[in-house]
Amino acid sequence: MNLAKLYTLIIGGLFLFAVGFTLAKELVAVGISIEAGHKAMHVLLGVWAAVIVFKKQDAQYRVFALTNGILWGAVAVIGWTLPDFLGLMAFNRVDTILHTIVASTGLIAGWKK
């Protein structure tokens, strides 16, 4: 199994199920918010990963990994340079570290062929 496929399986599953659970809690507790939108983006990417895996779209594993690397890398850069930007959880220290891990592993997995 190549790194991009492994990345898609793990990160896609976490986005879909773990972040999906926190999104549901957020929507019940707070309702629609910017933070819920951030979590919804993760869940949508998890759905994309599920489609890639179940349809066996091998060419898309690298695209998924690189897309996540770039997208969450940008979010991580904002988190490191503007901590707690707009008071959003997405930019707190823990989330910034998680975004950095997701981004860096995505770029590494997508870069390797």
Which pLDDT tens digit goes with each residue over 37-51? 999 999 999 999 999
Closest to 99 measured CA to CA, from 10, 35, 11 = 11
**What's the confidence (pLDDT) of residue 90?**
87
Report the length, in residues, of the chain: 113
> DSSP letter at 58?
T
- Domain residues for 7? 3-111
Query: Greatest CA span in the chain, whole angstroms?
Result: 43
> How is residue 33 annotated by DSSP?
-
Q: How many domains does the chain have?
A: 1
By C-alpha distance, which of 94, 57, 74, 68 is closest to 7? Answer: 68
CA-CA distance, 89 to 10, in Å (whole number)? 23
Q: What is the pTM of this model?
A: 0.90
Whether the pLDDT of residue 35 is over 80: the answer is: yes
User: Token pair of 107, please?
Assistant: 């770029």
Average pLDDT over residues 25-46: 95
Whether 113 has a pLDDT exceeding 70, the answer reads no
Contact 99/75 with Cβ under 8 angstroms?
Answer: yes
